Structure 1
Amino acid sequence: MIMILKGKTALVTGAQKGIGRATAMMLAEAGADIVVHYFDDEAASQSLAASITSLGRKCVTIQADLRDVSAARELVDAARDAMGPLHIVVNNAGIFHRASLATLSPDLWDMTLDVNLRASTFVIQAAVAHMRADGIAGSIINVSSVAAYGTARGVHYSASKGGMDAMTRAVALDVAREGIRVNAVAPGMILTDQALEGHAVEELRAIALETLPGRLGTAEEVASVVVFLASDAASFINGEIIAVNGGARMA
């Protein structure tokens, strides 16, 4: 991969597996040093860090429970303290515990919105404060979902991702004149542990048939779009939600 991000530092939340892990690796392959955030799998995060450092990049891992707003802010502060100015922030951490409308509880609603939307907002708030102080024209990328349009057993999840899309656009308006870009990627059904949770194999096959290529996507296909948005090649893209769904909504 061309070193389009050489000399830059990226924070990736929820990087221990899936899209987050693929994104952290691809950013490193493009030349960036990486701050790996994880919640509950230290071994996976350390394995990822070893893979990143084997490329000659710097990497630190930081644990944080993003349900706590203070922890979200402190994560960014710790990343800045450990690695210097942040150029790229990827808000990937998210949860989707499926529930029908009838079984959805207030606790599950709150936890989903806290992790998927509130934490992302306050990670951005802290990151923008550092970028302003450091004079960095940074790139912030949120990992949303086509579920923002609605998904089965996911009123809470759809609400969190619809809110993320709106938040992405609003923050982009707030910081654009300072050279900070804020965009989102909206994956369709990607073959990760999160996709497998609560789905039978037959359901996944049916979903795959709804895409124009007739298959599920890969974490690496999402990560490649994140890397593009993080780079100067996307310098005139701001406040956008980029669908990475195999054309599912056209099928």
Structure 2
Amino acid sequence: MKLHDRIALVTGASRGIGRAVALALAREGAAVAVNYRSREEDALAVVKEIEALGGRAVALRADVADPGAAADLVAAATESLGGLHILVNNAGISDDGLVYGRPPGAWLEVMKVNFGGAYHCTSAAMGHLMAQRDGAIVNISSVMGERGWIGQANYSASKGALNAFTRSTAVELARFGVRVNAVCAGFTPTDLVGSLLEDETGKRIKKQVPLRSFAAAEQIAAVAVFLAGPDAAYMTGELVRADGGFAAQLGVGRP
């Protein structure tokens, strides 16, 4: 197991991609702090799954959009599991809609969680990681941070900010042996975007993906675990797309 004796904190890990990342890290031997904001039962279920695999895990409640709560979360994860080597900033929300007609503050909560959560947790964890001169931070971003989509202006902006943050913190932390990378996920059916990918709308979107399928949460998690592990030891500041080829094409990729 490539992450034996490593300790990880995954934000927003009670469901979706975060849950898949937590389980994938555990399968590689990492102890995992499973962060959640409101779904305690789901988070405890993830902990039980990890323990069933023979691993160690703890469920920790915190709203990462709150800087104080994020700092307490990092401290609790470090104390509960005996250290910290890997931080996966996954917590995210969406509030889709056209900019025209939206209330003035429609962008704020999305930005506070999607970008602010990563900022707060990274800020809280970096002192520990710098001091031990060892660590990996993986931000779960989206191809929407590099492309546009109708009704996604606030979400795209939050992920674009996260991408810029990834590059800057990678440069800042490199001299301390701490790597920072991001996974730019494509369309992945989770609670966050599930309604968008259903019925005829989903079929039309899927036809625009070169691999003709949506991502499974486990496929995104596999990229995150790679970036967190020793096989990516010389990678930092990278935005790694896992989108079935969606962003590689011009337009929808066909006449």
TM bracket (short chain): over 0.9
Q: What's the TM-score, normalizing by structure 2? A: 0.94
Look up the match of 1:207.
Answer: 205
- Structure 2 distance, partners of 1:23, 1:109, is 27
Q: Provide the secondary structure at the position in 1 that maps to 2:58.
A: strand
Q: In the alignment, which of 143, 147, 150 is matched to residue 146 of structure 1? A: 143
- The 8 Å contact of residues 87 and 136 in structure 1, kept in 2 or not, is answered as no
Aligned residues: 248
1:97 Cα deviation from its structure 2 partner: 1.6
Look up the match of 1:218.
Answer: 216
Q: What's the TM-score, normalizing by structure 1? A: 0.96
- Structure 1 distance, partners of 2:195, 2:133, is 39
Look up the match of 1:188.
Answer: 186
Q: Which runs of 4+ in 1 moved over 2 A?
A: 103-108, 197-200
Look up the match of 2:163.
Answer: 165
Q: In the alignment, which of 149, 152, 155 is matched to residue 153 of structure 2? A: 155
- Structure 2 distance, partners of 1:212, 1:23, is 25
Relative to structure 1, the CA distance from residue 32 to residue 136 in structure 2 (aligned partners, 3 Å threshold; closer, same or farther) is farther
Gaps spanning 5+ residues in structure 1: where? Answer: none
- Could you tell me which amino acid in structure 2 is paired with residue 145 of structure 1? S
- The 8 Å contact of residues 64 and 121 in structure 2, kept in 1 or not, is answered as no
Is 1:179 the equivalent of 2:205? no
Larger mean Cα displacement after TM superposition, 40-49 or 65-74: 65-74
Q: Provide the secondary structure at the position in 2 that maps to 1:46.
A: helix
- Could you tell me which amino acid in structure 2 is paired with residue 142 of structure 1? N
Q: Provide the secondary structure at the position in 1 that maps to 2:35.
A: strand
- Structure 2 distance, partners of 1:103, 1:44, is 35
CA-based RMSD: 1.2
Look up the match of 1:137.
Answer: 134
Q: In the alignment, which of 83, 91, 102 is matched to residue 93 of structure 1? A: 91
- The 8 Å contact of residues 85 and 136 in structure 1, kept in 2 or not, is answered as no
- The 8 Å contact of residues 91 and 141 in structure 1, kept in 2 or not, is answered as yes
Is 1:42 the equivalent of 2:67? no
Look up the match of 1:26.
Answer: 24
Q: How does 1:106-121 map to 2 (within 5 A)?
A: 106-121=104-119
- Structure 2 distance, partners of 1:165, 1:109, is 17
